[in-house]
Structure 1
Amino acid sequence: MSDTDGVRRRRFLKATGGVATAGVLAGCAGGDGESTPPEALGSDTDSEGETDDESEETDSAPDDDLTTLRLINASANTLDPVATVLSTESEKVVQMYDGLVGKPHGGAGITNLIAESVDVSDDGTVYTFTLREDVVAHNGAEIDANAVVYSWERLAGSSNSTSDYVLLDDLGVAHETDDEGNYVPGSLGVEATGDYTVKVTLSSPYYAGLDIMADASFVIVPEGIVGDIDGYEGEISYDQFTTEPVGTGPFEFENWSPDNEASVTAFDGYYGEAPTIDRVHWQVMADPNAQFNHAMNRNVDVFPVPNAQYDAEKVSVEETDDIGREIGTYGPLQNDETADYLRIAGLSTAFMLFNTNNVIEPARKAVAYVMNHEQLSSNAYKGRLTAGYHMTPVSLWPGGPEAAEEHARENYPYGYDTSDIEAARSLMEEAGYSQDDPYEFEIINTPGSTNDLISQELRDQLSAAHIDLQINTAEFSTLLDREFAGNRDSGLGSWGMSWADPMNVLALLYPPNTQTTNNEGVESAPLVGLNWTGTDASERAREAWQTMQNNKRDTEEDRQIRADAIRKLEEANWEDCALINYGYPSNERFSYDWVDMPLFGELGALSKYADVEIDTDAQPT
């Protein structure tokens, strides 16, 4: 998706190590340098190298009679749905697994999948699902209410789960904890009340409950398939499950070589409408230039266009629909073809993050003064990012985009649509720094031309404000290890949202989620390594977050309370500059005209491919 290190999705980590997510990166938060637009459905960690070398083409040779959708992305680490943290992993998971409900084309609407119907209690705390009775998994196992209980218990209690907090905290399913605050196995408020009925009890009502249940981590697997939770021995080993998964979706596992390729094939026993294609194949390449060269040789059907190759003049928008999707063409490409083009403002946000223990407040504010968000959008991103000032995407801001612009224009403390180097210099001089004695800190990102351009521009501007900015790069996993150990001063990052609720991204600004160590100095498990605590502003942020958590009903009163809390939390972050948001990347798709793909919505990176159509006579072989 971006030319940095993979969109971190919100379903990120339970970090005892430093494994990244979901999505954008891959929705997750804070430690990646993702700073370019999501360039194509299926691209994850885009470290836009400057080499022109083509990667070795190692596409497997499928049966000529199979209609195959050919895609390209970077590597993945697991295919276990409760363990996925990268968007490259989630893209495959949603093909092989179904949940009770879902968003097959990444839009706002929720579709019943394994659930035939759902009833919500008047107080909004009890969801009663009636399941279809014709669902079987890829291994032939029947999917019933016990399979749902098992699947969600794995999400809550498996040592392999990286998304337990999404179920227990974000959604807030009722459960018990021990004296240390850990989940007590078997206490989850998910109960089989009949062979095909399941009751889910929340600790408090949440208007976005079904949206969260549509997330890819909530998919259903056969009961007892692996024994990584209490009470189940497991039908297969965990290693086998994560590399040869057994799901319930329209496609079943065929092949996976993490550094080479992956593929799935249409599942003949699928309960829903049969897929219109026989196979999906992903070629694994990390280098965006290699990906692009591969696409220019017509080896894939859908592909990314990295910033280095992108030309905004080649975009021709023929239609903008009622939800803001821009539909048209892009071309000519380097191979003289014209691609079909789709763009929509995604639910993701891009920012510069700081470890506030390592970078002093005047230096953080100096960065805010010199950073021109609009110029960054047009120059570094070539218009593929909408400039912004809030962590909350403008489509989710209380009152909408116009209200977001008005709030930022009237209240942003560091200058709207401008770069104020003089104010930054005065601030650093008041802090005791000068041209002869500059302040030093490091920005570290994954390799990428957009990251480099932004960092170099900041370095040049900050040098006039008595700041010596050191620029370094690291691979994604190394970068995250450093961040969550408290050893990353600053970096460029992005967060891809999994459902349309500001709390999904504002969790990054809840101070307890930012601490790399707890009060006893023990390593913690942050969402982003800001260490933002101990200030008046961080305390206001904590209170605002808790106010949102305590008012999650779908009522006008609660909406107004949440709206006020959103503004307070964003303004608290402005005061301390723990994160500096600079915009919202677009979701884009480039595809050849022999493939017909349904339009995706604002969460499009998680689309299913079951109803893709391909003109095999036109598709190169």
Structure 2
Amino acid sequence: MADSDELQRRQFLKATGGLAAAGALAGCTDGGEETPPGELGTDTDTDTETSGDDTPAGSDDQTTLRLINESANTLDPIATVLTTESEKVAQMFDGLVGKPHGTADVTNAIAESVDVSDDGTVYTFSLRENVVAHNGDEVTADAVVYSWERLAGSSNSTSDYVLLGDLGVEHETDDEGNYVPGSLGVEAVDEYTVEVTLSSPYYAGIDIMADSSFVIVPEGIVGDIDGYDGQIAYDEFTSEPVGTGPFEFENWSPDNEASVVAFDDYYGDEPSIDRVHWQVIADPNAQFNYAMNRNVDAFPIPNAQYDPGKVTVDETDDIGRQIGTYGPLQNDETVDYLRIAGLSTSFMLFNTNNVIEPARKAVAYVMNHEELADDAYKGRQTPGYHMTPKSLWPGGPEAAEEHARENYPYGYNESDIESARQLMEEAGYSQDDPYEFEIINTPGSTNSQIAGDLRDQLSAAHIELTINTAEFSTLLDREFAGNRDSGLGSWGMAWADPMNVLALLYPPNTQTTNQEGVDAPPLVGLNWTETDASQRAREAWQTMQNNKRDTEADRQARAEAIRKLEEANWEDCALINYGYPANERFSYDWVDMPQFGQLGALGKYSDVEIDTDAQPN
């Protein structure tokens, strides 16, 4: 068998699985652009301004929800790594359970009920009968086994680590740590009963099973795993997928548009609208101009056009959603506004092999988290000091604030340039002989402002910061190869468990491919592995892994481990967390969209309602 740490690493990073996690490490989201669950966002705001006035194709008698999206690479749910892909997949596919509007509550979907064994390791799902997929096939227990086997064993899967590592479904591996096909602990007990066996109990197990990678497809639809010839070719499936959700595929032109239409034989409530259409526009300013021409119903607003003074909050509900209006816009419209603190975190990352510890700590000293939230993000982020979002901190947000205020080593709610200068002088640097390193991000106004402010502050602490930008793919190549000194990043969580984000601080997940014996990309390129603090982080992570039950003893063990891991990171400054992005939505008043929760807006659009008399043609 492979070494346990290396095995876990492979389960995280098989094939391109690392890209899904590392994508957002390329750069911060620009203000209101949401960082979705399990994916990382980039700031691509530019000064280019274009406009469009084309309306999406569709017959006059259809009610169409009109949205903006960016380019996507696949519509296969086990291969998606981008928000643009996940949003479409959510409409066309259902799982056994789900979170249709991004709230914490898991609801039954294809499963009619679920029973969990007393020891928390066996989940028994009873399926609804007469559920049919878009090709007319009935969805039975065998379809569930096939779908999860694809997630575990297909060469196209980018999320096998979620099933095998995070959730921990029982399975076998070979001597190199690879999954053995057919060994998955998912069994069809009878035609409508499925039994899932975990290697150990996990209190967040059902939450993980609600993730979009666990959706169900018709049995044997493609032959990319052992034992199945496939009804259609893989290329056809990924570009014209056959799903089980409330909408079925209509059209996809990756660089132009995509659309889905209501599925007449859906087992659940019939969709309230006939169609969803996405116009593909990459540039945020062009997206905004397109929205100002009233060509879409809901849209993002980039920081460059966002004015916090135009927000009016009429109500804050019991889970913290702020509901109100925003406007007037440049087209004189006032739109509906929804905001909620998300399960996302923003940070500055360092390759600890390239940037010395005093310089990393100097950045922590000069960085004022409150100013970043208020100035660079125009109040669209909440300042923070932990990778763990405040709502998930042991004891809640107030306990998180107290822990940071009393323990953060580099100054709470202040910029301490003098301490940074003293630290660098003790390390042997001066105004005449400054320390030099580079920060590299994707292009964007927010990234540029943050990097520029840091450069100015660090210059007084004998550090010369060079600012560069790179496109997303180039930046990832540099980071994975260990050639990115530092950068800004963000991570959106897929389920409400601190381990989902603290995986970035598990040292074996941070080793870049230029390190001896490493041949897979990291989750994040920190190379944080050789210090006493990193060893404490490793031990804390293992404590969390070994205490995943929903008992008071396990909760206390996890809570202490979370604090230890966060404080270990503070000691070495491998990552410096500085805030938590909010999830926001702006929509015209002729469309009524369900309110989303902390996990964001990537839910289903089946119960959207549109006033077609008011909606522009």
Task: Note if contact 1:349-1:585 (Cα within 8 Å) is conserved in structure 2.
Answer: yes
Residue 522 of structure 1 and its aligned partner are, at CA, apart by 3.5
SS of the residue aligned with 2:229? Answer: coil
Give the corresponding residue for 1:50.
47
**Normalization by structure 1: what TM-score?**
0.95
Give the corresponding residue for 2:213.
217
Matched, 1:601 2:597: yes
Matched, 1:620 2:616: yes
Give the corresponding residue for 2:577.
581
SS of the residue aligned with 2:399? Answer: helix
Give the corresponding residue for 2:6.
none
User: In the aligned structure 2, how far is the partner of 1:454 from the partner of 1:82?
Assistant: 35
Provide the identity percentage.
Answer: 80
Matched, 1:295 2:291: yes
SS of the residue aligned with 2:89? Answer: helix
1:362-412 Cα distance to aligned partner (Å, 9 max, x none): 111111011000000000000000000000000000000000000000000
Give the corresponding residue for 2:535.
539
Matched, 1:310 2:306: yes
User: In the aligned structure 1, how far is the partner of 2:283 from the partner of 2:14?
Assistant: 27
Which of residues 33, 39, 45 in structure 2 aligns to 1:39?
A: 33
Task: Note if contact 2:14-2:161 (Cα within 8 Å) is conserved in structure 1.
Answer: no
Residue 17 of structure 1 and its aligned partner are, at CA, apart by 5.9
Give the corresponding residue for 1:143.
139
The one-letter amino acid paired with 1:579 is: L
Which range moves more in the overlay, 476-485 or 305-314? Answer: 476-485
User: In the aligned structure 1, how far is the partner of 2:484 from the partner of 2:25?
Assistant: 9
Task: Note if contact 2:24-2:41 (Cα within 8 Å) is conserved in structure 1.
Answer: no
User: In the aligned structure 1, how far is the partner of 2:123 from the partner of 2:109?
Assistant: 15
Residue 526 of structure 1 and its aligned partner are, at CA, apart by 1.3
Task: Note if contact 2:12-2:165 (Cα within 8 Å) is conserved in structure 1.
Answer: no
1:197-248 Cα distance to aligned partner (Å, 9 max, x none): 0000000000000000000000000111111111111111111111111100
The 5-angstrom pairing of residues 13-412 of structure 1 reads: 14=13, 16=15, 20-21=19-20, 31-39=25-33, 46-54=43-51, 56=52, 59-412=55-408
1:404-439 Cα distance to aligned partner (Å, 9 max, x none): 000000000000000011111111111121112211
Matched, 1:435 2:412: no
Task: Note if contact 1:41-1:304 (Cα within 8 Å) is conserved in structure 2.
Answer: no
Give the corresponding residue for 1:3.
none
Task: Note if contact 2:152-2:160 (Cα within 8 Å) is conserved in structure 1.
Answer: yes
Which range moves more in the overlay, 482-491 or 338-347? Answer: 482-491
Structure 1: any 5+ residue segments left out of the alignment? 1-11, 22-26
Task: Note if contact 2:164-2:171 (Cα within 8 Å) is conserved in structure 1.
Answer: yes
1:158-196 Cα distance to aligned partner (Å, 9 max, x none): 111111110001000011111111111111000101011
SS of the residue aligned with 1:477? Answer: helix
SS of the residue aligned with 2:294? Answer: coil
Q: 1:546 to 1:80 in 2, by over 3 A?
A: same
Give the corresponding residue for 1:526.
522
SS of the residue aligned with 1:604? Answer: coil
Which of residues 495, 501, 506 in structure 2 aligns to 1:505?
A: 501
SS of the residue aligned with 1:308? Answer: helix
1:269-319 Cα distance to aligned partner (Å, 9 max, x none): 111001000000111111111000000000000011110111111000000
The one-letter amino acid paired with 1:39 is: E
Residue 28 of structure 1 and its aligned partner are, at CA, apart by 5.3
The one-letter amino acid paired with 2:468 is: N
Residue 16 of structure 1 and its aligned partner are, at CA, apart by 4.9
User: In the aligned structure 2, how far is the partner of 1:365 from the partner of 1:30?
Assistant: 23
Task: Note if contact 2:15-2:158 (Cα within 8 Å) is conserved in structure 1.
Answer: no
Which of residues 468, 475, 480 in structure 2 aligns to 1:479?
A: 475
Task: Note if contact 2:341-2:580 (Cα within 8 Å) is conserved in structure 1.
Answer: yes
User: In the aligned structure 1, how far is the partner of 2:182 from the partner of 2:18?
Assistant: 27
SS of the residue aligned with 1:356? Answer: coil
The one-letter amino acid paired with 1:36 is: D
1:104-132 Cα distance to aligned partner (Å, 9 max, x none): 11001010000010000000000000101
SS of the residue aligned with 1:20? Answer: helix
User: In the aligned structure 1, how far is the partner of 2:143 from the partner of 2:181?
Assistant: 16
**Normalization by structure 2: what TM-score?**
0.96
User: In the aligned structure 1, how far is the partner of 2:43 from the partner of 2:254?
Assistant: 16
Which range moves more in the overlay, 407-416 or 434-443? Answer: 434-443
Task: Note if contact 2:114-2:123 (Cα within 8 Å) is conserved in structure 1.
Answer: yes
User: In the aligned structure 1, how far is the partner of 2:188 from the partner of 2:44?
Assistant: 46
Superposed CA RMSD in Å reads 1.7
